[in-house]
Structure 1
Amino acid sequence: MQRSERSDNHHNNHSDSDSDVRPARAADIPVNDLRSALARLATVPGQLLETDREVDPHAELAGVYKRIGAGGTVQRPTRLGPAMIFNTIKGYPESRVLVGLMASRERVARLLDTTPTALTQRMGDAVRHAIAPVTVERDRAPCQEVVYRATDADFDLRKLIPAPTNTESDAGPFLCLGLVLGSDTETGHADVTIHRLCVQGRDELSIFFAPGRHIDAFRQKAEARGEALPVSINMGLDPAIHIGACFEAPTTPLGFDELSIAGGLRGKPVELVDCVSIGQKSIARAEIVIEGEILPNVRVVEDQNTGTGHAMPEFPGYNGPANPSLPVIKVKAVTMRRGAIMQTLVGPGEEHTSLAGIPTEASIYNAVEAAMPGFLRQVYAHTAGGGKLLAVLQVNKRSAYDDGRARQAAIIALGVYSELKHIILVDTDVDPFDTDDVMWAMTTRYQGDTSTMFLPKINGHVLDPSQTPAFNPALPARGVTCKTVFDCTAPFHMREEFERAQFKEVDPRPFAPHLFPEEDDHV
């Protein structure tokens, strides 16, 4: 395959980047791209695993990581584990694949310079102090060190990028962490979103849009004029970019550039660069960028090459159905860093909870804090809902009036994040991140007939198979649901009856020092 390479040599390549850096403390390494994120993780025992054993990207790679670190709503056995780099990919001798970078709340906290319980507030602060991206010259953009053009006779996405299939029934290879960057060609407003992208041919991808996505609105406007929509697909990124991109309206309304949230997280702007083949920007420090155009009035069957009827495993833990009519991206070029790392995820795993859930938490926290300062202590977008469908809200009741405010907080949360289905309310003595503690509160502070709020026939999420008229004939369409609030807080006037047994506070370390090793200062 023909390729062009820049002659500049001031960017790190595969041999001198992430693997060889081993400083003493993770916090000493600033993160501005994927490689510096990996360098930081490499200093923390148990957070990053590399293997040279050959792996097949078709089903095997995801099957391995399902057992090592996927977690989430993946069928058991699975577990939380390290991020993993596969250095030897069958059929792709020059490629490496990373999976699970964000498949742990602890790992995300280390990468975003905070602690697991403070991630919500850190993300909320980044929204309030967003910094807009900037454009740099091409000689400052590592993502364009190597360029492949679709006009080359031997260009073939299927041979160039080791896009994995998660299961043997997938519609095809998927780019599972491809961040699509598109712009409204009339207003110039930009948006970034992660979408389901299936490799359909040598220079074609299909793209699935869930209802209400902003880039789809840009596409529809362009299509109405008979025009293609130029987009870049950015892979292998600073995790601040991926997580910041997963905020949704109304927190980030149409016209809000989510890249500015990553800027707020890092305290400096994300760097963009002009694409080499289309009138669009790409993320300058990405590992791999696909440049292309969403064609007007062209549709394709998602599983046209396999006929399985399935797309890929989605965040609720089920196979998403193959879509019979999806827009097509015509690829114009692929640009890469030297020694590029392909980044992917296991669809229903804990990584989705981090990507979708932490922005969900921040959106809810900011909205409730604005309405009721100091009332909401913590939010956890639970992994059982893939970070989207289930949230636990910890509230601080100080009067009988607050019994009603707890439920009001739940209503605000449902308004802020439309895809939420269930909310569990707990008191400040319950750890919202500990499912056993939450279930204890539900068992001892909840009565189904008096502690439940039902809000029927509200828009939810199309990928939840229970949100269909076939499951509940009262529902008018797929993606409409009954939303439920489980009030597992103690009534304020009975608070003394619900006081937990109080044990003496004792330092256990002298009795069992091996169980309490000193924590690494990662902040």
Structure 2
Amino acid sequence: MKHIGQPYDDLRAWLRHLTQTGRVAVIREGVGLRHELAAIAKRLDGDKATYFPRPDGHEMPVISGFMSQRGWIAEAMGVADADVLSAFRRAAQSPLPWREVEPGAASCQQVVHTDIDMHALLPIPTHSEHDNGPYITAGMVIARNPVTGVQNVSINRIQVHGKDRMALLMLPRHLYAFFKEAQAQGLALPVAIVIGADPLTLLASQAITPIDHDELEIAGALHGKPLPVVKCLSNEVRVPANAEIVIEGRILPDEMDLEGPFGEFPKYYSAQEKREVIMVDRVTHRRSPVYHTIIPAEYEHLLLGSIPREATLLAHLQRSFPNVLDVHLSMGGVGRYHLYVKIRKMHEGQPKNVILCAFGAHYDIKHVVVVDEDVDVHQPRQVEWALATRFQADVDLVVISGAQGSVLDPSTTTRFSLEDQVGMPESHEQGISAKMGMDATRPVRYHEHVFTKVRIPGEDTLDLEQFVVSGATVDWQAD
């Protein structure tokens, strides 16, 4: 793998680079925080990052969409597009312990607020039409295992209810396990919510790792040097020292508030339910901070989640199948549910084994398509072409019923009748899903060129500039 640039370990340096290369749209002052800001950012998503000065008159500006292209993420990592997964995988396998700095040296603690009014302190947008209020969507929640002290980093949606009270969604993963351990002891779980981290720390937060693996150490490996961190002022959690904003608080052990509905990554709303409560103790930030918001279900949201998952899935599959060459979680499958796998097929039946292995790798995966090495899994049209010409449903289809799937997939709830069920099904019944795998590979052996992909020699390598006459026109006037 060849590095083509230095990784970006500072958000402002990255935003400066995007600005200098024409990839930041500066919006007029005073855009509304309720829907208007999100609507503008969504229109520009995947094209330009958006910078909002004085939204609703708030002193603090908002940035969105600075990681909304796969190529931008590669650029921030300092690698070629094709090397993104291998670079992330290597960082996850070789984390660097972070480096603690003194509080006075941490820019994230330049300004300290103990008189808390979240709505006054931060420009928190309300995004989608039916969202139940303003949400923090780009907040990295950092907590310590109450038993081992090892940290975990995750991005959780957080609804801001009042001046110092917020509700968050915790899926049954590491943060939830930490909370349940603290709750069993009758204790609150200290946390920090970091807003405005550098792009690679944000990406590292989405790594799929075993419990007690600190994602901040993966961030250091992505940077190529230990990440500087600082201890929070009110608890023992360590946070990136150069972050824009840090909210310090506690997840209460015995209080719940209603949270939702909220427009989630599948592009549907999750239901309103009672969720755990964060009590805010203080807010610290840099001088003249920038607030980061992620527009739900758009490219920045989907890519930040999909690339770390792809790296993990590729490593998992290659342990059993070294001939797996590449994977891609498609954007049409919301970066979670549809997995495309490229293999160098060596044996009939092998694609079905790959399909089953993929389902076991992560419960979110709903549909898997396996294709040959002549298909680019990052090009949905090529995958569809393989399905159209190399797949027969009566022999190449794998269907598994009644498996665990994503609780945020609304189709998993359709088996519950509204007449028989009051409210949502209980947690142990949510997310029951069918899985479908499609073997869209050609036979290992086939007659002559029946399954040979048509190509024209030189189509990928010739230099068009040598052939196209620049500025030339044709006079189509009839004689």
TM over 0.5: yes
Equivalent position SS for 1:486: strand
Which whole-Å CA distance do the structure 2 matches of 1:28 and 1:113 have between them? Answer: 4
Does the CA-based 8 Å contact 1:27-1:40 persist in structure 2? no
* Deviations, residues 494-516 of structure 1 (Å, cap 9, x unaligned): 2741101120203223234889x
- The answer for unaligned runs of 5 or more in structure 2 is 472-479
1:437-486 deviations in Å (ceiling 9; x for gaps): 1111111111112111112221111000011253799x982211111111
Kept in 1, the 8 Å contact 2:6–2:78? The answer is no
Q: Structure 1 residue 87 and structure 2 residue 53: aligned?
A: yes
Matched residue, 1:186: 147
Distance 1:514 1:377 in 2: 40
- The reply to whether residue 63 of structure 1 matches residue 39 of structure 2 is yes
Whole-angstrom distance in 2 between the partners of 1:471 and 1:86:
43
Which of 171-180 and 498-507 deviates more? 498-507
Partner residue in 2 for 1:450: 395
- CA distance 1:28–1:507, shift in 2 (3 Å): closer
TM-score, structure 1 length as denominator?
0.83
- Tell whether the 8 Å contact from 1:30 to 1:36 is kept in structure 2 after alignment: no
Q: Residue in 2 aligned with 1:488?
A: 440
1 CA distance for matches of 2:310 and 2:27?
A: 34
What CA distance in whole angstroms lies between the structure 1 residues aligned with 2:121 and 2:469? 51
Q: How does 1:350-361 map to 2 (within 5 A)?
A: 350-361=299-310
Give yes or no for the alignment of 1:320 onto 2:276. no
Q: Aligned ranges for residues 13-162 of structure 1 at < 5 Å?
A: 31-45=8-22, 47-69=23-45, 80-92=46-58, 94-149=59-114, 152=115, 155-162=116-123
Distance 1:119 1:30 in 2: 12
Taking the aligned partners of 1:54 and 1:393, their CA distance within structure 2 comes to 46
User: Could you tell me the TM-score, scaled by structure 2's length?
Assistant: 0.91
Alignment partners' CA distance in 2, 1:97 and 1:27: 30
Task: Please state how far the C-alpha of 1:126 moved relative to its aligned partner.
Answer: 1.3
The separation in 2 between residues aligned to 1:336 and 1:169, in whole angstroms, is 30
Give CA-to-partner distance per residue, 1:390-438, whole Å, 9 cap, x none: 11111112x3x2x333222222222222211111111111111111111
Q: Deviations over 1:159-196 (max 9, x none)?
A: 11011111232111111010000011221121011001
Question: Aligned equivalents of 2:413 and 2:113: distance in 1?
Answer: 44
Given the alignment of the two structures, is residue 384 of structure 1 paired with residue 335 of structure 2, yes or no? no
SS of the residue corresponding to residue 431 of structure 1 reads coil
Among 368, 385, 389, the residue aligned to 1:440 = 385
Residue type of the partner of 1:85?
A: Y
Shift of 1:286: 0.8
- Provide the residue aligned with 2:456 in structure 1: 503
| 8 Å CA contact retained: 2:267, 2:297 | yes
Find the aligned partners of 2:4 and 2:317 in 1 and give their Cα distance. Answer: 32
Which whole-Å CA distance do the structure 1 matches of 2:233 and 2:443 have between them? 62
Query: 1:449 is paired with a residue of what secondary structure?
Result: helix
Indicate the SS of the match to 2:429: coil
Contact 1:133 1:271 in 2 (8 A): yes
1:270-281 equivalence runs, <5 A: 270-281=227-238
Q: 1:394 aligns with which of 342, 345, 352?
A: 342
Are 1:179 and 1:234, in contact at CA under 8 Å, matched by a contact in 2? Answer: yes
Question: Corresponding residue for 2:408?
Answer: 463
Taking structure 1 as reference, are residues 514 and 136 closer, same or farther at Cα in structure 2, changes over 3 Å only?
farther
Q: CA deviation at 1:144?
A: 0.4
Residues 269 and 298 of structure 1: CA distance in aligned 2, closer, same or farther (over 3 Å): same
The unaligned stretches of length 5 or more in structure 1 are 1-25, 70-79, 303-309, 516-523
**In 2 relative to 1, CA 30–390 (structure 1 residues): closer, same or farther, beyond 3 Å?**
closer
Report whether the alignment pairs 1:419 with 2:364.
Answer: yes
Structure 1 residue 30, shift from structure 2 partner: 5.1
Secondary structure, in 3 states, of the residue corresponding to 2:207? coil
Report how far residue 59 of structure 1 moved: 0.6
> Do 1:275 and 1:281's aligned partners in 2 also have CA atoms closer than 8 Å?
yes
Q: What are the superposed Cα offsets for residues 256-283 of structure 1, whole Å, 9 maximum, x if unpaired?
A: 1122211221111222111112232222
Counterpart among 280, 293, 297 of residue 344 in structure 1: 293
**Compared with structure 1, are the counterparts of its residues 30 and 121 closer, same or farther at alpha carbon in structure 2 (3 Å cutoff)?**
closer
Cα distance in structure 1, aligned partners of 2:313 and 2:439 = 17
Aligned to 2:179: 219
Partner AA of 1:277 in structure 2: S
1:9 alignment partner in structure 2: none
- How far did residue 204 of structure 1 move? 0.7
AA partner of residue 147 (structure 2): E
Identify which range, 383-392 or 333-342, moves more after superposition: 383-392
> Deviation of residue 44 (structure 1)?
2.5
Equivalent residue pairs, number: 457
User: Aligned-pair distance for 1:139?
Assistant: 2.1
**Quick check: 1:295 aligned with 2:240?**
no
Tell whether 2:149 aligns with 1:199: no
